[in-house]
Amino acid sequence: QGGNNAGHTVVVDGKEYDFHLFPSGIINPKAISFIGKTFDQSVQLKSYFSLYFLIGLKDWEKRLIISDRAHIVFDFHQAVDGLQEVQRQAQEGKNIGTTKKGIGPTYSSKAARTGLRICDLLSDFDEFSSRFKNLAQQYKSMFPTLEIDIDGQLKKLKGYAEKIRPMVRDGVYFMYEALHGSPKKILVEGANAALLDIDFGTYPFVTSSNCTVGGVCTGLGVPPQHVGDVYGVVKAYTTRVGIGAFPTEQINEIGDLLQSRGHEWGVTTGRKRRCGWLDLVILKYAHMINGFTALALTKLDILDVLDEIKIGVAYKLGGKRIPYFP
């Protein structure tokens, strides 16, 4: 769950935590939390030290390990994310509905091989500064209104580098040791959902990473034979933040009821989630890709007050039922 993307609300012993970057296991004093590249290969450094939501968590920095291969989200990535959304709205009359946290632009930099990683930040800072300036300049030429305080940013990044240095490890070797050393329980936590996967989701209304099970291999360097049980987490109804296809959506009092009773708000954006009946076509599709060994069905109690519960069981295309997700 490396990138500052959709938030995750975790409640432990009556205390509520809203996580954006931290793996949920950071609350457990017996667990080591590792941020590799899984599902979101981007680490927004400043959030590690915004500890207002970690009050009461002792020694968290001793339990957190960051992969040296993780890509860094810079402030200008976030600014560009917002500018691109404005551009889409102006050109197409609709945007993607991103969290504006810089995830898309960071992945663009990564794919263009101009991205910068934690290992770059912690090695030769002069070389890092030079590459940072080049990357900033590229974005400034694409977005003339973009303002970047290059010297200020670099000063800040130099400070972050020293703070996180003790937490950084070679991520591939760390995972290899975890898999082959003394027996451990290893839980890989994925952000977002199957239908937001860059390859298999409702493109283009998706995130920029692989949040399906393949992300375990590509994100952490875990060989496929080590992937054991795969748990699908699904609500008893369907929700979506932002725009995109949603056949079972209820834009009526049912949708309002699910939204209010289920406290369906986006943790990162504060937006109301769109709500509708459970879509089994989507669930089956997610299973085709991920091969779930078990499902965790959540929020069944939200439906308690309804006399009738509906479920989407099939899609029709051109009047004919189809066995796949189109």
- Active-site positions read 110
Angle, alpha carbons 29-32-37 (nearest 5°): 140
Q: How many CA atoms lie within 13 A of 308 on its CB side?
A: 2
Closest C-alpha among 236, 188, 228, 227 to residue 211: 188
Closest C-alpha among 236, 297, 295, 233 to residue 262: 236
| Residue 312 contacts residue 278 (beta carbons within 8 Å) | yes
Element (H, E) at 8: strand 8-12
Joined together, the tokens standing for residue 323 give: 């066995």
| Residue 222 contacts residue 216 (beta carbons within 8 Å) | yes
Q: How far apart are CA 274 and CA 295, in angstroms?
A: 22
Joined together, the tokens standing for residue 313 give: 């069981």
CA 85 to chain centre: 18
Q: Residue type at 18?
A: D
Residue 172 burial (10 A CB sphere; 0-12, 13-18, 19+): middle
Element (H, E) at 79: helix 75-92
Residue that the structure tokens 């109690």 belong to: 301
Strands 168-169 and 231-235: unpaired
